[in-house]
Amino acid sequence: MNSTCQISLINQPILADWQREKLVQIHEGKVYIYLPVSDKFPLQNIQKAARSIEKMGVDTATLVGELWSEDTQWAFALGFTCAEKLTSVEFTGEKSCVDSLNNKLAVFGWARDLTNQTPTQLPPESLAKSAIDYITAQAPDKVTAKVIAGEALEKEGWVGIYNVGKGSIHPPCLLELDFNPSKAEKTPVSTCLVGKGITFDSGGYSIKSNAGMFNMKADMGGAAVVAGALALAIRQGLNQRVKLILCCAENMISSHAYKLSDILTYKNGVTCEVANTDAEGRIVLADGLLLAAESEPAMIIDAATLTGASVMATGGDYSALFSLDQKLADQAKLTAKAVNEPLWQLPLEIWHQEKCPSEFADTANSRPIPGGGPGGASNAAGFLSRFVPNEGKGWLHFDLSAAYNGNSNRLWAAGATGLGIATIANLLTSEPSK
């Protein structure tokens, strides 16, 4: 197979023999994806075909022909791209369509590559710098950023990020990036994006198994998704003020690491007993949500590879959505459907705040049983809800159970998927539901 290959989409088989019903058909050196008009899962089958074509040794796929739409081309790109070729697709069609697809491919490629980097390549401060550099490049005169790192976190009261990251030789940090197209200091903040940026998660003293730790370079996937979403929204013409907050730390074991039964006191006065050092994502996100609330935004969106429970619930095919604001949750689900990103809402009520009780503090960060016990994903969201304003109105929590695959499968190459970026980007640029 040539390193560059033209791919056509057809709805009538190009072959008349036993191969006529095959999804991928090769005839006279040309490659075709056969998608009958009656196909019930067209985007999924195109993504599956793209994985097969990439495995043939094709380095760059050039899409040709009149049957390709924007949605089908994007499905192909998601299936074809992989760690070594994250932007190796050439699109076809009207210039506006090609430009839109190229913008998405570039941002997804950046975010996926960031997530695929090793923990040694990407310590916490490097993650923050990467986000600053990439987003600033999208709008150089409209972005400012502040990073608080190391001991300064404790001095300024960001106890969650500080404690989770203090056991590592790589200092933890909190990034607050401000995209302000008006450049006016008093411009209201439309949205705050908060991302979990755990660049490696050993589990701390609640140490993970070897198998459970192997893919933990991707535990900063939430940070990559929200940073990518902001970059994509800027490329799509975002004209609202948005702040990006990344909670960056490496969760390691050392003589200085935080311990089970430690009690943290957050800026809002909530006390938290550490019942599981491996439930660190919610500990750092609490700081990010408190910082977000200071800007009094209309909407707060956080994203995190937060719980194994969400993977168990969704099979890793969907991201999980939680909210106490059902109107906003409905808008998020419609937005996800419009951009073909699988999203499933799981239960969250205000009483989920009480699902991780402590005898010594207002709450624990989990329950000291495997996986946090029944309803673990909802309980984690309940913990986070203690740190958002307005009783949760305007808040969305994405538990990114489909953010990363340790092994390739029929739809995805191994590595980060970028799922969630398009949904959140569209939420930033769309009008709120009435």
Q: pLDDT value at position 72?
A: 98
Angle CA 194–87–238, to nearest 5: 40
Given 51, 282, 367, 386, which residue is catalytic?
A: 282
Q: pLDDT value at position 369?
A: 83
Q: pLDDT value at position 157?
A: 98
CA distance 23 to 33: 6
CA dihedral sign, ordered 307, 312, 318, 324? negative
CA atoms lying within 13 Å on the CB side of residue 148: 19
Q: pLDDT value at position 372?
A: 80
CA 131 to each of CA 28, 179, 227: distance values in angstroms, whole numbers, following the listed order: 46, 12, 6
Asked if residue 345 lies in contact with residue 412, where contact means CB atoms within 8 angstroms, the answer is no
CB-based contacts of 335, cutoff 8 Å, min separation 6: 423, 426, 427, 430
CA distance 326 to 331: 9
242-251 and 173-179 strand pairing: antiparallel
CA distance 231 to 268: 31
Q: pLDDT value at position 373?
A: 83
Q: Which residue ranges in the chain fall short of pLDDT 70?
A: 1-2, 431-434
Annotated catalytic, 85?
Answer: no
Closest CA to 256 of 164, 161, 361, 173: 164
Question: Residue 247: beta bridge partners?
Answer: 174, 196
Residue 350 neighbours by CB distance under 10 Å: 12
Reported as type and span, the H/E element at residue 321 is strand 319-322
Closest CA to 64 of 35, 38, 30: 30
CA distance 274 to 259: 7
Asked if residue 396 lies in contact with residue 300, where contact means CB atoms within 8 angstroms, the answer is yes
Q: What is the pTM of this model?
A: 0.97
* 3-state SS assignment for residue 178: strand
Given 208, 267, 333, 393, which residue is catalytic?
A: 208
Q: pLDDT value at position 152?
A: 98
CA distance 303 to 420: 8
Q: How far apart, in Å, do the first and last CA atoms of the chain sit?
A: 53
Residue 397 neighbours by CB distance under 10 Å: 29
- The amino acid occupying position 59 is D
Asked if residue 227 lies in contact with residue 143, where contact means CB atoms within 8 angstroms, the answer is no
Asked if residue 199 lies in contact with residue 103, where contact means CB atoms within 8 angstroms, the answer is no
pLDDT digits (tens, 9 = 90+) for 293-339: 999 999 999 999 999 999 999 999 999 999 999 999 999 999 999 99
Annotated catalytic, 386?
Answer: no
Asked if residue 178 lies in contact with residue 144, where contact means CB atoms within 8 angstroms, the answer is yes
30-34 and 24-27 strand pairing: antiparallel
**What is the rounded average pLDDT for all residues in the chain?**
96
CA 157 to each of CA 52, 84, 415: distance values in angstroms, whole numbers, following the listed order: 51, 41, 35
Domains and CATH numbers, the chain: 4-93 (no CATH), 112-429 (3.40.630.10)
Asked if residue 175 lies in contact with residue 131, where contact means CB atoms within 8 angstroms, the answer is yes
